[in-house]
Each structure stands twice: as structure tokens, then as C-alpha cells.
Amino acid sequence: MLLDGIHHISCITGNAAINLEFYTRVMGLRLVAKTVNQDDPYVYHLFYADQLGSPGSDLTFFEYPGALPGRAGAGMVHRISFRVATEEALSFWEARLGAKGIAAERAGPALRFSDPEGLGLEIVIRDTRDPPLIAERPDIPRDMALTGFDGVRAYGQREGSKRVLEEVMGGAGAGEWTWEVRGVTRGGTIAFDPAPDLPARPGAGTVHHVAWATEYDEHEVWLERLQQAGIRSSPIVERFYFRSIYFREPGGVLYELATKGPGFTIDSPLEELGTRLILPPAFEPRRVEIEQRLTPLPTP
């Protein structure tokens, strides 16, 4: 069994309207799902991705209106990396961000910046065999577009994290305190840095968890593998659009194993993704109540 790279990355925002504006109009991603946190249905769960809503490109946000700014610390991801294919594409993004008043720093083959709430982002040039995951926008040429996740950087406990990544999750070393988790079609990396002195503070602009992609029919076996390795986890949780298993690796980073299907087209045609609030069947009888409690958002 192999994990097929990163499935999605879930974060926290205190302002869904500003978040939507940035990730669709600046980053050029498609809003593919406007749904709710299934553990708290009065909280938005927004999914931005490529045109098809593919695993490997899903960046998601829970909205807690007015949430105070957070601070990444021990046991938290502090930077998310997206891929582009060429030097020309990286220069395109440097110019695009600059034109929109967003400060960005070149660091070799990478461009680093933050979203409006301080979430650390990075665009890197990556020569890879992975199929590109691209959102279609008229103001971003296809050969300049983001092509999916490259990886994340976290503050963690390196030795314990290494054991779980290599012995349980099938990861391979890919640099100094960096591991690649690669499956049949995609790979994604996680790198660990020493934690800062200031304590972690979850809040707006922080990462909640990183999900790794699994095949649907292998999920039961993954649960058994975690148990055999002595790793405490949730049971399999039915999320309707995918199934999930949650656990914390030794450094404290929250991981999810998420199945690659069935996906968002299970209840919406592809062309309508992101245009209306979608609810799993269990919440549909409460639609009116839920919609009244959520922040009104425009359709991108």
C-alpha cells in the first residue's frame, strides 16, 4: 500500500470573504466545494483546487468568523508549497503578486509570501512526472498556472516523525529532515524545522491538518497498520465526499488519511462545483437553519 501524496491541507480563516477573494482571484484556484465542517455544521468548510477538485490540489479552510490571528509553533505546519513547471512560471507569479501589492521573496527556485491572514505560502519550480492539477482562469495562462501541492514544512519532533513516516507511511528521505510520500500517481513532501521559542497558537492563518491520499479499498488495512504500529487514531470517519482516519504523528502534527473518492461530483455536476452550499445527506434537513448562520458569500 502506498499513500498517493498529499490529498488536501485544511486551514483556519477568520474571514471567509477575504479568503475567497485571495484564493480564487489572486491564486487562481477554483472554489470546488462550499460546504460545512461536519463536526460543527455552522462553520464553513471551503475547498479550493484545480478544475476537477482533484486530490493533490485541495486547499481547504474552516471559517470561524472573527478568529484571532494564530501562530504556528511546535506540532504545526508553518508553510504550504505549490508547484509550477518552469522558471518563467515562477517569474509570472512574482510579477502577479507584486502587481497585487503582495510582498514576496525569491529564495532560489522558490517564491515565498503569505496570505492576508499570515499563512505561509510558497511556489516552487518542480520537475516532476506527476500529472499537473490546474484550475482554468482567463488571466493565468495554462503553462503558468499552479500545478498542485509540492509539500509542507512543519515544526516537529524529527526522530519520532521520521519513524512514522518511514516505517508506517512508506515515506523516503528526500533531503535534510525532509521526506517524500509517493504513490502510483503523485508524491508530496513534508520537512521538519526546529520549533520556535514562542508557543503555538491555533487561529486564523494557521494549518489545522494535512491529509494524505489513500485508495478507497485500502482504508481498512491502513487502520489496522496504524493500530499494529501502536499509533492511536480515530476510527474510519465517513465524510460523504471521502472517508477519513485521523492521528497525530509523534511531533504533534495532525494527519488524516483520506480516500481519493468518491469526490464532490457525487452530488453536484462538475460545472456546478462551488456554486451552491452542498451538505451531506445527514445535514440536508437542517439546510435553512445552517444557511442562516453562515457568512453570505458571492459565487466566484
* Per-residue pLDDT tens digits for 141-158: 999 999 999 999 999 877
Residue 132 has what pLDDT?
A: 97
Residue 298 has what pLDDT?
A: 84
Q: What is the pTM of this model?
A: 0.96
Nearest CA to 123 out of 109, 143, 136 is that of 109
The helix (run of H) or strand (run of E) holding residue 20 is helix 16-21
Give the position of cell 481519493.
Answer: 260
pLDDT in tens, the chain (300 residues): 899 999 999 999 999 999 999 999 999 999 999 999 988 999 999 999 999 999 999 999 999 999 999 999 999 999 999 999 999 999 999 999 999 999 999 999 999 999 999 999 999 999 899 999 999 999 999 999 999 999 999 998 778 899 999 999 999 999 889 999 999 999 999 999 999 999 999 999 999 999 999 999 999 999 999 999 999 999 999 999 999 999 999 999 999 999 998 999 998 899 999 999 999 888 999 999 999 999 889 877
Which long-range contacts does 239-245 make (Cβ < 8 Å, 24+ apart)?
Answer: 239/38, 239/280, 240/38, 240/266, 240/280, 240/281, 241/33, 241/35, 241/266, 241/280, 242/7, 243/216, 243/219, 244/211, 245/219
Residue 271 has what pLDDT?
A: 93
Residue 172 has what pLDDT?
A: 96
Residue 6 has what pLDDT?
A: 98
> Which amino acid is residue 207, in one-letter code?
V
Residue 299 has what pLDDT?
A: 78
> Which amino acid is residue 84, in one-letter code?
V
**Pairwise CA distance, residues 115 & 22, whole Å:** 7
What CATH superfamily is the domain 6-293? 2,3-Dihydroxybiphenyl 1,2-Dioxygenase, domain 1 (3.10.180.10)
Q: HSE, CB side, 13 Å, CA atoms: give it for residue 176.
A: 2
* Helices assigned H by DSSP within 29-187: 87-99, 158-163
What pLDDT digit, counting tens, does each position of 34-57 carry? 999 988 999 999 999 999 999 999
Which long-range contacts does 109-114 make (Cβ < 8 Å, 24+ apart)?
Answer: 110/81, 112/79, 114/205
Interior angle at CA 154, CA 152 and CA 156, nearest 5: 145
**Pairwise CA distance, residues 12 & 37, whole Å:** 11
Residue 158 has what pLDDT?
A: 75
